[in-house]
């Protein structure tokens, strides 16, 4: 009698970062990266809707990222910055765009 084959599935690699309560309150810079796919009007909409930038500021950030490769969007407490980046990435992926943001400590 043979044993039944156990189905296997691949689980994506996940990295967890443990941060202290003090680190959660430290300000982090949200940086937008330029890409050659995401339409400029979509980028401006995300900056206004997710990061609450006014239209003039959003357009300036979008152009700076377009010309320099990246731009500062906002400086926020870690948890808020992370939540907004997640929301922006989710919105972009749902629309089929590779729009990307990252965080860096505001030292």
Statement: residue 10 has pLDDT above 60: no
- Domain count for the chain: 1
Share of the chain above pLDDT 70, in %: 78
Residue 25 has a pLDDT of 73
**Domain assignment present for 50:** yes
pLDDT in tens, 25-76: 789 999 999 999 999 999 999 999 999 999 999 999 999 999 999 999 999 9
Burial degree of 29 (CB within 10 A; 0-12, 13-18, 19+): middle
Distance CA 80, CA 67 (A): 27
**Domain assignment present for 86:** yes
**Domain assignment present for 38:** yes
For residue 71, give the nearest of 96, 92, 53 by alpha carbon: 53
Statement: residue 92 has pLDDT above 90: yes
**Domain assignment present for 13:** no
**Domain assignment present for 39:** yes
| pTM of the predicted structure, to 2 decimals | 0.77
| pLDDT band with cut points at 50, 70 and 90 for residue 13 | low
Residue range 5-27: mean pLDDT, rounded: 64
Q: Note down the domain range covering 67.
A: 21-105
**Domain assignment present for 63:** yes
**Domain assignment present for 83:** yes
User: Can you give the CATH number for the domain in which 27 is found?
Assistant: 3.30.1390.10
Distance CA 48, CA 45 (A): 5
């Amino acid at each position: 009698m043979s044993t039944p084959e156990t189905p296997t599935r691949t689980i994506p690699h996940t990295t967890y970062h443990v941060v202290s309560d003090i680190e959660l309150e430290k300000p982090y810079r949200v940086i937008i990266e330029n890409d050659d796919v995401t339409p400029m009007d979509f980028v401006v909409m995300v900056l206004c809707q997710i990061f609450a930038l006014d239209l003039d500021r959003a357009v300036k950030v979008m152009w700076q990222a377009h010309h320099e490769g990246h731009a500062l969007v906002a400086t926020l407490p870690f948890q808020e910055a992370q939540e907004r980046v997640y929301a922006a990435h989710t919105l972009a992926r749902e629309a089929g765009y590779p729009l990307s943001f990252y965080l860096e400590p505001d030292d």
